[in-house]
A and B are shown apart, each in its own frame.
Chain A
Amino acid sequence: MQPDRTLRWRSWSLGDLAKRVRPLWLHGDRLFWLLTVMAGLGILALVSGIGYELWVNSSLARRAFGWSFLLSSRWDPAIDQSFGALPFLQGTLITSAIALLVAVPVGVGAAVFLAELSPDWLRQPLGFLIELLAAVPSVVYGLWGLFAFIPVFLRPLAEALSRGAGFLPLFEGPVFGPSRLAAGLLLAIMILPIIAAVSRDVLRAIPVAQREAALALGATRWEVISQVLIPYGRSGLLGAVILGLGRALGETIAVTMVIGNNLDLTASLLHPGYTMASIIANEFTEATYDLYLHALIEIGLILFLVTLVVNLLARLLVWGVARRGPQEEARA
């Protein structure tokens, strides 16, 4: 008696459930939208997943060194198994700073030309070339940097700096080919297209009335640009610069090939150095024990958090200006 009743109860319940649920799924629309939502959540999960995995897999290093990991310059996996990230933090900061110093004026200048001055027939081809520059793979930049850029351009420049300004700590010491300066200048070339392209979009998004009003008051074209457009698009331009910074901080292969991979903590730009990304690239497969691996992953974690914050900031700034702009394009 008993099992029979259970069976009847259950089948009635399932039928009822089906009747209630069926209309919701009838045309497949619910399922379809559920799938799209799941895909969306998948993207959100990716961000948190990266953070979680890096956190968990760096636990040994975090426990062993704590905050001193950021302040210690001792990176000695072979003998006393002590790890500190200071040389890499320093290298990343220096190379990114050089990159920004060079790429911001040139990139914004190019953006001004593309957005304001270029004749119409030239605008698209030039923009196209600059976007192609962004598409060149990092390893190709590295190869070119190592065998063409350093011997042809950088060495003479470094020798001149060393001769003329060698008394400054920034340029002291012997001249090496691969150096922080080489990495910084190569990074400048690599982040230039992104700064130029985003700044151009920001400038294009500024209403024409702003330009016309200033021109009507008798401003020259340069005065329109410097006194109206650049202040108007200030936060967007800043966003473009920070976007470039984000790219410079995380750039790996090209930097690894031209920075010389050296742990010395000197101030000289002509000295070989190391960055966070390049130590990971160089030593990850050589990490023979867990603490070593965890220390490298902790550097990855720092890199992830820093680029996350930098990109959040940049996007907020760019969105504020260019969101309702005339041309919004996918930016990789």
Chain B
Amino acid sequence: MSDGRRLDLRKTVNVFMLGLAGAATLLAIVPLVWILVYIVRQGAPALSLDFFTHLPTPVGVPGGGILNAIVGSALTVGIGLAVAAPVAVLAAIYVASHPNTAMGLGLRFATDVISGVPSIVMGIFAYTLIVLPQRHFSALAGGVALGFIMLPVITRTTEEMLRLVPTSLHEGSLALGATSWKTYLAVVLPAAGNGLLTGVMLAVARAAGEAAPMLFTAFGNPFLNTNVENPVATLPHTVFVYANSPYDDWRAKAWATALVLITLVLAFNVSARLLVWWRTRRLGTVTL
């Protein structure tokens, strides 16, 4: 009898705790749904074609858009990519081909640790490297800060993708007499092709949303600028500035800009993950 009671108690605790775990999962998803729905509802009314093709207007003047921020974001993310991608891919090749050496492990570890450095610290670093000596804010400084943020993302993803390439492909190429670097350029990297793309897209998604380091590197600019030596506005920075303003019109624009930003970021992120999914499935059949 008392054994039966104990069993009942254990079963009740079991159901209760498993239910809590399920509730925790639901609770974790709620903010995502809330954020997405709210931003679409608040942001969509202010969207129009003009919003994408016009520069900001002064307060009180109707119309105006975020063309300057779109161009600035593209410019800084492009610079970041140019800084980070080559270094990241080369380093990933090193780590993937020396998995159990001290340097390989150390590098993997360093990459993981760098990805935890706050983006605002990366911003200060870019500030001391570029803004302080040049004595002015610039798209270049913003781009370099984003490059530092992208570096660990691309390195880690590329490395994982390189590991997925079957060793037999690598060895086949070497056995045919190809040199090591030709094997990587002509066989391994193409085989990991959209894996590279995945890393780049994840990095772009991350960097495009960074507002903190842009405050004192790219700085913001209400005019259209494509010169890397001048300050530029970026999408996340624009959201920040508009959200903190006291004007209703600007707040509406903050929502609309946030909608544009989150659409871009999630599009990049989702397609990157779809690529991984597709990739692992296809390579899975190759190795069979």
Chain B residue contacts of A304, Cβ below 8 A: 117-118, 121
Task: Kindly report which residue of chain A lies nearest to residue B119, judged by CB atoms.
Answer: A252
Q: Is the interface of B mostly helix, strand, loop or mixed?
A: helix
The 6 A-B residue pairs with the shortest CB-CB distance, nearest first, are A250-B118, A137-B209, A109-B24, A32-B181, A311-B116, A39-B90
Contact between chains at A308 and B14 (CB < 8 Å): no
- B1-38 vs A, CB cutoff 8 Å, 1 = contact: the mask equals 00000000011011001101111110111011011001
* Contact among B17, B111, B255 with A143 in the assembled complex (CB-CB below 8 Å): B255
Residues of B within 8 A of A32 (CB): 179-181, 184
Chain A residues, Cβ within 8 Å of B94: 33, 36-37, 39-40
Shortest Cβ distance from A327 into chain B, in angstroms?
A: 10
From known contacts A139-B211, A330-B202, infer whether A308 and B119 are also in contact, taking CB-CB under 8 Å: no
Q: Is residue A251 contacting chain B, with contact meaning CB distance below 8 A?
A: yes
Whether the pair B128, A257 counts as a contact (CB closer than 8 A) is no
Q: Which of A129, A222, A251 contacts B18 (CB 8 A)?
A: A222
Is there an interface contact between A27 and B179, defined as CB atoms closer than 8 Å?
yes
Binds B, one of A13-21, A47-55, A64-72, A155-163: A47-55
> Does A148 make an interface contact (CB < 8 A)?
yes
Residues of B within 8 A of A (CB): 10-11, 13-14, 17-18, 20-25, 27-29, 31-32, 34-35, 38-39, 42, 86-91, 93-95, 103, 106-107, 109-122, 124-125, 127-129, 132, 148, 151-153, 155-157, 159-160, 179-182, 184, 199, 202, 205-206, 208-212, 215-216, 219, 236-237, 239-240, 243-244, 251, 254-255, 258, 261-262, 265-266, 269-270, 273
By size class, the interface of chain A is 35 or more
A113 within 8 A of B: yes
A196 on the B face (CB < 8 A): yes
A139 to B113, CA, bound (A): 23
- Residue on A nearest B128 in the bound complex, by CB: A53
The residues of A with any CB-CB pair to B shorter than 8 Å are 27-29, 31-33, 35-40, 42-44, 46-47, 49-50, 53-54, 56-57, 105-110, 112-114, 116-118, 126, 128-133, 135-144, 146-148, 189, 192-193, 196, 220-223, 225-226, 243, 246-247, 249-253, 257, 277, 280-281, 284-285, 297, 300, 303-304, 307-308, 310-312, 314-315, 319, 328-332
